[in-house]
Structure 1
Amino acid sequence: MRLGWIWMLCVALLAGCGGDGGDDDVHKVIIDSDYNTMSDDGQLGVMAAQLQAEGRIRVMGISVVSGNQWLRQGVADALKSMERLGAGAAIPVYAGENMPLDHDYAAVQAEQAAGAGGDGYLGAWSTPEPQTDADLVAPPDGFATRTQVQAKSAVDFIVDTVKAHPHEITLLAIGPMTNVAKAVARNPEIVPLIKQIIYMGGAVHVPGNTTRTAEFNWWFDPDAAQQVVRLPIRQVVIPLDVTDTVLLTKPVYDRIARAPQPTLITRLFQQLNGYGFSGDSGFENDPTYTQNIWDTLVLAYLIDPRFATETREEYVDVIARKGDPENGRSVGYDVPPAGVPLQKMTVVTRFDNNRFFDFYVDLFTRPVPVKLD
């Protein structure tokens, strides 16, 4: 009798803390992303779906924003990504903002003419904006046929989800900040209700990539990035400072592309990453080829902050000066400039690369979690 009472008490306690069907100990996340099929954003989508199937996170939804691609293409890729993984019903997709707050193509051209420099990658600005679905490029396995974009806008989705789950939602911000900036501008009451934001963005103490000083995500919409980093919210930044040191190499690539038990995901990974960004030179024909790892570090940090082996606590700001070659540059301060409402945040500068790649390969080579639907 006494043992039975103790057993029932244990069951009740487990249920109360999420150990038996509850989810208090599960990370609730919104993935805010300039989505693509199987580059860094799409790779995070695969890993997130696997972690949700395992019960380690709960993805409330994917809010898509223009950045790597225009919004319409990003939404199409996100829908197919979730359908491919059997997560079309479990992880809804919301369409967000198509244009930056105040960074248009004329400004981009002016900044380049003024000496912004960089690697030449302009994301969506490099391609015509699709006007209809007929202008979209299908993923290798075709468009989604069963999964539909949600009627609610991404901005409203962010607001409503944070309000419904106060102090529980982590924003995984792996694209430009336009959706988040608009959400907090329209509904500032959600700011103290957001648990934390973990970014892939910025180049705090290293050179940029899209320009000589600015990292792409924060460069694409500098005004939105500046507004969001200044919010009084717990924030963690995964900048180029660390992503420059985490490189996908041929041996790691082969662990996925030549997995002992191939899946649709491993085959797609090989097809879309095997010949690099150029499409003609990469892992499949150059054993010395490497690729940077960006967004997936954000998910690893969420699951276990100990993946970060070196961090700095500092105040980070973003320069937002339209037409200036410094537009989008991120700056870290030990002491914030007078009158600027900056927040001290964690800036990750080094990762446990070996442990991270074990985590990365494991999630990519698992069977596709089709039971999510």
Structure 2
Amino acid sequence: MRRLLNLTAGLLALCAAIQCTAASIPKIIIDSDFGTLNDDGQLLAIAAQLQARGRVEILGLTLVSGNKWLRQESAEALKAVERLGIEQRVGVYAGANYALSHDLPTILAEQQRHPGGDGYLGAWNKPEPRTDAELASPPDGFASHTTLRAQSAADFIANSIRQHPGEVTLLAIGPLTNIALAVRQHPDIVPLIGQIIYMGGAFEVPGNTTRTAEFNWWFDPEAAREVLRLPVRHVIFPLDVTDTVKIDKQVYDRVVNGAAKDGAIAHLFRQLNGYGYDGKNGFETNPSYSTDVWDTLTLAYLMDAGYATATARRWVDVDTTVGANNGHSIAYATAQPGLQPAVIVQRFDNQRFFDFYVDGLTAPVPVK
């Protein structure tokens, strides 16, 4: 009997340990303006490797128009989850195709009256594809058997947060339209959100679309303003820090010539990032070429907040006034009515981060 009791106690302790371990694994929703192996696609690939190692749980991938139109992003995301072998476990959910209020006529008028920045308009740079026949194929073809899940992105976000109250981290690496809609349609979820980690904003540096605005928050400034005012934990990676974390030729070579150099990710990384955005100026043609890192910093921080070597607590807002400052992010050092405090990451441990980054893109670990 004593042996049985000891065995039972041991099993109970083991079960408790397993439950504790499972509960401690971060649960994430990747809310993304997805591209095959742009910064969004790289984040998914690294997250899939972390999931295979039992270090993170990807609840789903939700899509929002931003870098590309929703239909094109969907095609690339469906192929990505197949390529990574996670299509059964990680659903892809279509979200908002248009910003809440920021439309093309307004944008063109802003650009004409207030030129500046690099003029990058993302999806608005190209006509919206209306049929699948108008889609550009991913380099290795379209998905063969995976389709979008039936739920909308907003409903999926809300239901996931209800199922895991206080546990879900939203990695907000695109425009914030989906999250704004989820909260508008399901206001009960607000106190249940674990945290939101953003790639967005520009505070003490110029914008990358206009002189004052970073692309993600500029694409839908009204959504950004609404989400940043939610009483939840906010962590922000603005251009101020992403401008200081750059992929150079050495890092590029570690990815394309690493342990998985013959794999799909290394091949696509070379194909899509080796020749620059113009197909001519890139790592393969210019040894001095470099490019910033954006979205993957959010995932690294989630896994270890110690990657952030300098942070500041600020109250953040977004200018929604039509004009030169539309989408401009503002940080106040003291509390302001209606605003919420946020952790703004200012500097990162680049050397340690790039070990994480390269490992996530190259480790020959079976993805499940």
TM tier relative to shorter chain: over 0.9
**CA 1:101/1:11 → structure 2, altered by over 3 Å: closer, same or farther?**
same
Q: How many pairs were matched up? A: 367
The residue number in structure 2 matching 1:303 is 303
Change (3 A) 1:333 1:81: same
Q: Which 10-residue stretch deviates more, 173-182 or 161-170?
A: 161-170
Q: State whether residues 174 and 201 of structure 1, in contact with CA within 8 Å, keep that contact through their aligned partners in structure 2.
A: yes
Counterpart position of 1:346: 343
Mapped contact 1:66–1:74 kept (Cα < 8 A): yes
Q: Give the equivalent residue in structure 2 for 1:214.
A: 213
Shift of 1:66: 0.1
8 A Cα contact 2:174 2:199, kept in partner: yes
Structure-2 residue corresponding to 1:47:
46
- The C-alpha deviation readout for 1:318-373, integer Å capped at 9, x for no partner, is 11113x11000001001244xx3111110000000000000000111122634x2x
Instruction: Give the SS at the match of 2:24.
Output: coil
Q: Which residue among 328, 353, 356 is the counterpart of 1:356?
A: 353
1:334 maps to: 333
Mapped partners of 1:64, 1:101: distance in 2: 15
Deviation digits for residues 81-137 of structure 1 (CA, Å, limit 9, x no counterpart): 110000111110000000000000011111112214111211000011000111110
Alpha-carbon distance between aligned partners in 2 of 1:11 and 1:239, rounded to the nearest angstrom: 47
The equivalent of 1:98 in structure 2 is 97
SS in 1 for 2:59: strand
Alignment of 1:1-373 (within 5 A): 9-18=9-18, 23-262=22-261, 263-322=263-322, 324-337=323-336, 340-367=337-364, 369-370=366-367, 372=368
- Greater alpha carbon shift after TM alignment, 281-290 vs 108-117: 108-117
1:185-213 per-position Cα deviation (integer Å, ceiling 9, x unaligned): 11111000000000000002221111111
Three-state SS of the structure 2 residue aligned to 1:100 is coil
CA distance in 2, matches of 1:136, 1:18: 45
Deviations 1:17-39 (A, max 9, x none): 4468x620110111000000001
Amino acid corresponding to residue 350 of structure 1 in structure 2: R
What is the CA distance between 1:16 and its match in structure 2?
Answer: 2.4
Question: SS state of the match for residue 30, structure 2?
Answer: strand
User: What is the percentage of aligned positions where both structures have the same residue?
Assistant: 55
> Are 2:259 and 2:363, in contact at CA under 8 Å, matched by a contact in 1?
no
The TM-score with structure 1 as length reference comes to 0.95
Whole-angstrom distance in 2 between the partners of 1:4 and 1:236: 49
Deviation at residue 2 of structure 1 after TM alignment: 7.1
* TM-score of the two chains, using structure 2 as the length reference: 0.96
- Which deviates further from its counterpart, 253-262 or 94-103? 253-262
CA contact (8 A) 2:202 2:212 kept: yes
Over 3 Å counting, the alpha-carbon distance change for 1:11 and 1:202 in structure 2 is farther
CA shift for structure 1 position 6: 5.8
Distance 1:5 1:273, change over 3 A: farther
Q: Provide the alpha-carbon RMSD of the alignment.
A: 1.6
Flag structure 1 segments of 5+ consecutive residues without an equivalent. none
Query: Residue deviations 1:267-295, cap 9 Å, x none?
Result: 11111100011111100011110000000
**Structure 2 residue identity aligned to 1:153:** S
Report the Cα distance in structure 1 between the residues aligned to 2:197 and 2:11, rounded to whole angstroms.
Answer: 34
State how far apart, in whole Å, the 1-side matches of 2:61 and 2:139 are.
21
Structure 1 segments, 4+ long, off by >6 Å, are 1-4
